[in-house]
Structure 1
Amino acid sequence: LRQKTMANLQRSLYESKRRFDVGMITRADLAQVLAQVAQGQADITQAQSNLTVSEAQFYQVTGITPDNLVPINQLPTIPANLDEILAQTKNHPALMRAKYEKQAAEKQYALTKRELWPTVMLTSRAGKQDEASYIGSESNNYMVGVQLNVPLYDDGLNRANVKKAQADIDLAAQKIRSLELDLNKRTR
């Protein structure tokens, strides 16, 4: 649409230049037409930018590029009663995303909490060394070890991380509740 408008503006500019050349319009009139053409070009650039942003947002939400869209032959039917509509809002993409974010926050909490636990590591190493300068000079090295790490003092960093992870869970739960309320409000 904007490109059609731009084509019309280009024709208008051409005609205005011809009128100016024969003295039918003033320099101010020509400048006004030039300004309209410049505004048209700016509008096209803005529309292309908006399209690019919209395509990126669409891909971020759906994971599908707009080039791969398939036309819908039949629109989905809208349920007749409110209870069915409210039940369908539970599958809303934003709500599903918020639920996945809460699950991720819960898993992060579990991992962060493990930082408070002692850890035990079993290490082993084997090696063989041959020296060319001495005949029959070779050595074999074997090592087995156990390492115990107990987090006694860390300036409260691990406990702060646990509290932050718990706050992230609470925030995700609040986001879910807020989305549920918003979806219910929009459907009623």
Structure 2
Amino acid sequence: MRVKGIFGKAATGILVASMAFSMAKADTLADAMAGAYSHSGLLDQNRALLRAADEGVAQANAALRPILNYAATAAHSYNSTTNVTSNTATITLSLSQLLHDWGASQAGIEAQKQTVLATRQQLISIEQNVLLAAVDAYMNLRRDTEIVALRENNLRVITRELRAANDRFEVGEITRTDVATAEARLAGARAELAAARGTLMMSQEIYTAVVGKRPGTLSAPGAFPATAASASAASSLAVRSHPDMLAAQYQVAAAEAGIAQARAAMRPSTSLSANLGFTDDLRGTTTTNTRSLSVTASGPIYQGGLISSRLRQAMAQRDAARGGLHATRHNIRQGVGIAWAQVLSARAQTAASQEQIKAAEVAFEGVREEASLGSRTTLDVLNAEQELLNAKANAVSAQSAEYTATYSLLASMGLLTVDHLNLRVQRYDPEAYYNLVKSAPVSRSKQGAQLDKVLKALGKE
């Protein structure tokens, strides 16, 4: 009774919520995906990681810029032999500029650029996962809502059947066994309804977590998205354009640049240095100015095998990236094949369940009519009703599975993105931040001020 009361209150809450939301615009599948895209903390996290990768390009570019430093020193000294105390202040400016390093710095910049491109594709892959989670949450919620409605209707039907069985028992048409059978089936229907309501509440919580708001009335998902004419066509497109595949390719290119950087580090480099110094004894008697300009060529002779090890390490990382590319290609093809099979299976189940419903409806009406004439038992009627209920529940589940499978196929092809679906959301531009930071602007520059505005808009400061 306590469980019944809990789920009775829950059902009342669901009904009240449904009535409230019926006055508002129904949520669509596109609304759910747009909400998930705007709400996702996972996307925010990976956007921040992309901005961190963008800064890697800025830092690599900074290696080719002049480096200007200052040093200020105040000193006090005392000579006990001469009994002389002196106080001095020194200011020094030093400038250094890399002249030539056999392409090591350029290779470092290229490696960082390829890393940025790979990270952008990884962000798109995360975006696909977020949108697919929204599709799954939406379709599961619709399925569970419809199943609750079916269970409620089934409970009403069995209640009527029990009343009819009692009436027939009173006039002696059936036995007490028939009445008990109807009572047992009614108790089972109540238990199934309670379980369905519990599942519905769980789906509502999942939807809220994914989309970022409580669900209202959900509209029909509409037409299926266009995918591909065949499994081979879907696989070919996925291998060319899936973000995981592109990310793996960029990672190989970054590793290749790392090898070039490691090779260049084995050669000498040339740099220019300039220093300007000013020293004062703080008594106005002695002032010294110093200036120097030098060009230095330096290179490794022996470092205990360190630089050779770094080259071998870079080669191993390149080989690992190539292996990752090979594995990614196979995983993508496998994913497309599985998704295609799931779509075909779901379509077949949807078609079969519709035929099952038609046949079960005819059977139920016939059995019920025959029971009224005395040629069928109450159990026959209840079994026919159960068959019809199962057929309708199977149809609801099959339709939900077909939509989820279709969007999964779209994701396996690399096309489940806000751009491809043309969702109405404020899109995140991965190039905007990169274009501001790639030249490594300082904070006090005009471009640095623009960066400050961007960071404040993102809420990161």
**Worse-superposed segment, 90-99 or 59-68:** 59-68
Residue 79 of structure 1: how far off its partner (Å): 1.1
User: Aligned in 2, Cα 1:10/1:123: closer, same or farther, shift over 3 Å?
Assistant: farther
**Worse-superposed segment, 123-132 or 155-164:** 123-132
Instruction: In structure 2, give the amino acid aligned to 1:111.
Output: Q
Q: Note if contact 2:262-2:314 (Cα within 8 Å) is conserved in structure 1.
A: yes
Q: Which residue of 1 aligns with 2:226?
A: 77
Q: Which residue of 2 aligns with 1:174?
A: 323
Residue 123 of structure 1: how far off its partner (Å): 0.8
Q: Which residue of 1 aligns with 2:246?
A: 96
User: Aligned in 2, Cα 1:88/1:55: closer, same or farther, shift over 3 Å?
Assistant: farther
Residue 80 of structure 1: how far off its partner (Å): 0.6
User: Aligned in 2, Cα 1:119/1:156: closer, same or farther, shift over 3 Å?
Assistant: same
User: Aligned in 2, Cα 1:59/1:83: closer, same or farther, shift over 3 Å?
Assistant: farther
Per-residue deviation, residues 23-44 of structure 1 (Å, max 9, x unmatched): xxxxxxxxxxxxxxxxxxxxxx
Per-residue deviation, residues 95-146 of structure 1 (Å, max 9, x unmatched): 22222222222222222222101112211101223334244x3221001122
Q: Which structure 1 residue ranges, 4+ long, deviate > 3 Å from structure 2?
A: 7-12, 54-61, 63-68, 72-76, 185-188
1:99-110 matched pairs, under 5 angstroms: 99-110=249-260
Residue 121 in structure 1 maps to residue 271 in structure 2: yes
Q: Which residue of 2 aligns with 1:152?
A: 301
Instruction: In structure 2, give the amino acid aligned to 1:62.
Output: I
TM, length-normalised to structure 2: 0.26
Q: Equivalent pairs: percent with the same residue?
A: 18
Instruction: In structure 2, give the amino acid aligned to 1:104.
Output: A
Q: Which residue of 2 aligns with 1:62?
A: 126
Find the partner of 1:165 among 311, 314, 317.
314
SS in 2 for 1:99: helix
Per-residue deviation, residues 64-107 of structure 1 (Å, max 9, x unmatched): 97557xxx976531211344312321322222222222222222
Residue 183 of structure 1: how far off its partner (Å): 2.2
How many residues were matched structurally? 139
Q: Distance in 2 between matches of 1:59 and 1:74?
A: 33
User: Aligned in 2, Cα 1:56/1:148: closer, same or farther, shift over 3 Å?
Assistant: same
Residue 158 of structure 1: how far off its partner (Å): 0.7
Residue 111 in structure 1 maps to residue 261 in structure 2: yes
Q: Distance in 2 between matches of 1:103 and 1:93?
A: 15
Larger relative contact order (CA 8 Å, sep ≥ 6): 2
Residue 170 of structure 1: how far off its partner (Å): 1.1
Q: Which residue of 1 aligns with 2:235?
A: 86
Larger radius of gyration: 2
For the aligned residues, what is the CA RMSD?
A: 3.7
User: Aligned in 2, Cα 1:57/1:133: closer, same or farther, shift over 3 Å?
Assistant: closer
Q: Distance in 1 between matches of 2:268 and 2:224?
A: 57
Q: Which runs of 5+ in 2 are unaligned?
A: 8-39, 47-124, 131-209, 213-220, 338-461
Q: Note if contact 2:43-2:127 (Cα within 8 Å) is conserved in structure 1.
A: no
Instruction: In structure 1, give the amino acid aligned to 2:280.
Output: D
Q: Distance in 2 between matches of 1:77 and 1:84?
A: 13
Q: Distance in 2 between matches of 1:161 and 1:142?
A: 38
User: Aligned in 2, Cα 1:98/1:132: closer, same or farther, shift over 3 Å?
Assistant: same
Residue 152 of structure 1: how far off its partner (Å): 0.8
SS in 2 for 1:133: coil
Q: Which residue of 2 aligns with 1:36?
A: none
Q: Distance in 2 between matches of 1:175 and 1:181?
A: 10
TM, length-normalised to structure 1: 0.58
Instruction: In structure 2, give the amino acid aligned to 1:124.
Output: A
